[in-house]
Structure 1
């Protein structure tokens, strides 16, 4: 976009503002002078550069705000995913689904951790082994399902 096109569009933008800044008002005044002096032209050029810098700064601020918002949203999603995964543990181990019982069991475990430093490591190993075993039990089912689907697709392609 040529300088004159940008200036014309920007002047229209400034005129549409409810309360333009002092520099924006001066820019409009200098731009509307029919035969500006050399000093007025230099001042106009400086104000145009300033307005372009301000536009770039506003654009960068908007981009930074978008990045921060996206980051907060990603953190919120990760937190939600973690809570869902933790909530899935209760039915996985067939724990009685009662908030009071679950809370009491967790509080009891915390008390035990304070008195027995190795208990947390022992329980983690047991839990990790249980989860790994469940995941391994699910994999053959998934692989078997994929194998059956592949056989069915091959059978459909084969001439009768």
Structure 2
């Protein structure tokens, strides 16, 4: 876009503002001069550069706000996923779905970790083995189901 076009459009934009800044008002004033002096032309050029810099700064601020918003959204989704997974674990082991009982069991485990150094490692191994076994059972069930479906589709 040519400088004159940009200036014309931007002057119209500034005129539409409820409260333009002092530099914006001066830009409009200098742009309205039909035959500006050399000093007025220099001042106008400086104000145009300032407005373009301000536009770029506003665009970068908006981009930064979008990035922050996306980052917060990603963190929120990660936390939600973690909570869902933890709820799935409670369901997987058929633990009583009572908040008080679950909280008490977790607090008891934390107390035990303080007194038995190896307990956390032992529990982790047991839990990892349980989860691996469940995943293997699901894979086997899924594979058997796929084989049954394939057998049903095969003509005799």
**How far, CA to CA, are the matches of 1:102 and 1:122 in structure 2?**
20
Query: 2:82, 2:36 → 1: CA distance?
Result: 65
- The alignment's C-alpha RMSD in Å is 1.8
SS at match of 1:52: helix
Deviation readout 1:48-95 (Å, 9 max, x if unpaired):
111000000000000000100110011011001100110111121111
- Check if 1:3 corresponds to 2:3: yes
3-state SS of the aligned residue for 1:62? helix
1:145 Cα deviation from its structure 2 partner = 3.8
Deviations 1:82-134 (A, max 9, x none): 00110111121111221111111111111100001110011011101111111
1:1-160 → structure 2 map (5 Å cutoff): 1-148=1-148, 155=154
Once residues 133 and 141 of structure 1 are traced to their aligned partners in structure 2, the CA distance between those partners, rounded to angstroms, is: 12
CA 109–6 in structure 1, closer or farther in 2 if over 3 Å, else same: same
Return the alpha-carbon distance in structure 2 between the equivalents of residues 147 and 132 of structure 1.
Answer: 22
Runs of 4 or more, structure 1, over 3 Å off, are: 143-153
CA distance, structure 1, for counterparts of residue 21 and residue 15 of structure 2? 11
Change (3 A) 1:23 1:149: farther
- Structure 1: how far apart are the matches of 2:44 and 2:77? 49
CA distances 1:1-51 after superposition (whole Å, capped 9, x unpaired): 111111111101101111111110110001000001111111111111110
TM-score, normalised to structure 1's length?
0.90
Distance 1:104 1:41 in 2: 77
Q: Look up the SS of the partner of 2:117 in the other structure.
A: coil
Number of aligned residues:
156
